[in-house]
Structure 1
Amino acid sequence: MGDATAPNQMTLVKYDNPVLVTVHDKKGVKRHVQPMGGRPATPGFPQAPAIPGLTGQAQVCVDAGISKKETEEILNAILPPKEWEEDGKLWRQMVSSVPATRVDVINLQEHLDMRLKQRQARETGICPIRRELYSQCFDELIRQVTINCAERGLLLLRVRDEIRMTLAAYQALYESSTAYGMRKALMAESGKSELEAKIAEINEQRDELERQIQDLKLKIDQLERKYAEQKDAEEKKHSEEIQFLKRANQQLKQQLEGIIAPKKG
């Protein structure tokens, strides 16, 4: 059924008055309403002004050189009509095919600034509100240009679609990189506890090894003292044995000399 958009939605794009398309009677049967005279006005909505330079059924825009019907078809292709249902009635609102004047462009700029201020859009950085309002402003400019020159309007449509596609690509890239960063952050957070437990375990192992080193140092000191005492004792014993042997040797030598001396005399 199209966009269920209410007629009072604030937009910078200029639309014609809503047209009643279908009425649901009390029995629930749809009854189509045939509009008289193109796009009639509806109570509660202002009447669209007449199009200067356009007359008759085959109205032709002076600057564009194409009929009003063709212009409306192009405009409806670029900016599709709004449709919504209210109180059992189906309404349709087409984009306006009225050429814009210099005053309309000035009013568009003023309305853009006013909406940016009212909705508190950011002046810099990423701001969906500012992007939406500027997108509406660009659509309105495309509408104004298309009425005067359909080819120029279609070219601007290509530019608009390219910009939107580029922005969508950047947005997808941003969301992908953000999701990747979040996954990495969660992985790092989940691995943090494991690393902390591993660090605590390694610290305990280090403390245990340090205690073992202290114990080994004490044992080494004890063994060194023990071996030093043994060495001193063995050296002392060895020295005493040498002294004993020297004295015994000296006694034997004296005894031998005493035995040999009488024989010579």
Structure 2
Amino acid sequence: MIPPAESLLRYDTPVLQSRAVDRTADRKTPKARSLKPSPQQPPLSGPVPPPPRSPGADAPRQQTEEVLNALLPPREWAEAGQLWVQQVSSTPCTRSDVVQLTDQLDALLGRRQARETGICPVRRELYGQCFDELIRQVTINCAERGVLLLRIRNEIRMTVAAYQTLYESSMAFGVRKALQAEQGKSDMETRLRELELEKQDLEHQLSEQKARCEAVEKRELEIRQTEERKHGEEIQFLKRTNQQLKAQLEVTITPKK
């Protein structure tokens, strides 16, 4: 496990855990200042535990550290087969500390290339660390105020998590609807091609029926004209026959002189 990265939340000097790393399963979370340094001390270049203090003089400080550890748990990491624990600092802050915290926040935002607008996990993480540091500073002066700020922080995180879940759900819903729309578009394009082919087939059938109808009308017109011509000839023949018969009849019935 690698050591924790740089954080805006102020921590005390790391303390070496007395037990080995492979026994971490049955160890309990160390309390503030109750940890005893291991007999095997790290070299002078590494972090060293703070000197012991008098129990009577450190009673309020002990209580403050317990509250801080409850609100902001210590962080742990393994290094060279040894377990190190680093608790939140209980040192009161000054105005210069707040100004320095502001400068550190701006420097980290620029160093880690956090985006100024929109959703940015880096900016959210750094502002979360800054808010935790403010909770630490307030808790040292007033524990109740620190607990209230922690409650506000948790509520903000829960709200952000709810919005994130809603955003992810909306994105998934949008993607699903887009896929459905794309599938529906493909189906409609296929249906459109089928209807166009059906339309062409119906137009071809209509053209054939029109051509057949025109052929039938033409044939019927020819037949009607032929029949009318034959009928006219018959009428003319009957008229001539009638005139001849009429003339013969007149000759027949006319008395001879």
Q: TM-score range by the shorter chain?
A: 0.7 to 0.9
Deviations 1:170-220 (A, max 9, x none): 100111111122223333444554444433333322222222222222212
User: CA–CA distance in 2 between the matches of 1:139 and 1:17?
Assistant: 18
* Helix, strand or coil at the partner of 1:174: helix
Deviations 1:6-36 (A, max 9, x none): 24x11110011101112449xx889x97249
User: CA–CA distance in 2 between the matches of 1:255 and 1:77?
Assistant: 147
Alignment equivalent of 2:135, drawn from 142, 146, 151: 142
Q: Which residue of 1 aligns with 2:41?
A: none
Alignment equivalent of 1:97, drawn from 79, 83, 90: 90
Q: CA RMSD in A?
A: 3.0
* Helix, strand or coil at the partner of 1:208: helix
Q: CA deviation at 1:221?
A: 1.8
Matched, 1:212 2:205: yes
Q: CA deviation at 1:124?
A: 0.4
Q: Which residue of 1 aligns with 2:55?
A: 57
Q: CA deviation at 1:59?
A: 5.1
Alignment equivalent of 2:220, drawn from 215, 227, 249: 227
Which segments of 5 or more consecutive residues in structure 1 lack a partner in the other structure?
A: 37-41, 49-54, 61-65
Q: Which residue of 1 aligns with 2:32?
A: none
* Helix, strand or coil at the partner of 2:76: strand
User: CA–CA distance in 1 between the matches of 2:23 and 2:104?
Assistant: 42
Letter in 2 for 1:131: R
Worse-superposed segment, 199-208 or 111-120: 199-208
The answer as to whether partners of 2:114 and 2:122 remain within 8 angstroms in 1 is yes
Which aligned pairs between 1:75-224 and structure 2 lie closer than 5 A?
75-224=68-217
The answer as to whether partners of 1:18 and 1:91 remain within 8 angstroms in 2 is yes
Distance 1:209 1:29, change over 3 A: closer
Letter in 1 for 2:112: R
Distance 1:152 1:5, change over 3 A: farther
* Helix, strand or coil at the partner of 2:84: strand
Deviations 1:208-261 (A, max 9, x none): 222222222221221121111112111212222222222222223333333333
User: CA–CA distance in 2 between the matches of 1:78 and 1:186?
Assistant: 46
User: CA–CA distance in 1 between the matches of 2:183 and 2:229?
Assistant: 69
Aligned length: 242
Q: CA deviation at 1:88?
A: 1.9
Output the TM-score relative to the length of structure 1. Answer: 0.80
User: CA–CA distance in 2 between the matches of 1:89 and 1:46?
Assistant: 14
Distance 1:261 1:21, change over 3 A: same
User: CA–CA distance in 1 between the matches of 2:250 and 2:2?
Assistant: 144
Letter in 1 for 2:148: L
Q: Which residue of 2 aligns with 1:6?
A: 3
User: CA–CA distance in 1 between the matches of 2:115 and 2:23?
Assistant: 49
Matched, 1:245 2:238: yes
The answer as to whether partners of 2:37 and 2:49 remain within 8 angstroms in 1 is no
Distance 1:198 1:29, change over 3 A: closer
Matched, 1:18 2:5: no
Deviations 1:140-189 (A, max 9, x none): 11111111111111111111111101100010011111112222333344
User: CA–CA distance in 2 between the matches of 1:59 and 1:152?
Assistant: 24
Q: CA deviation at 1:58?
A: 4.7
* Helix, strand or coil at the partner of 1:84: strand
User: CA–CA distance in 1 between the matches of 2:121 and 2:147?
Assistant: 25
Q: Which residue of 2 aligns with 1:44?
A: 46
* Helix, strand or coil at the partner of 1:243: helix
* Helix, strand or coil at the partner of 1:152: helix
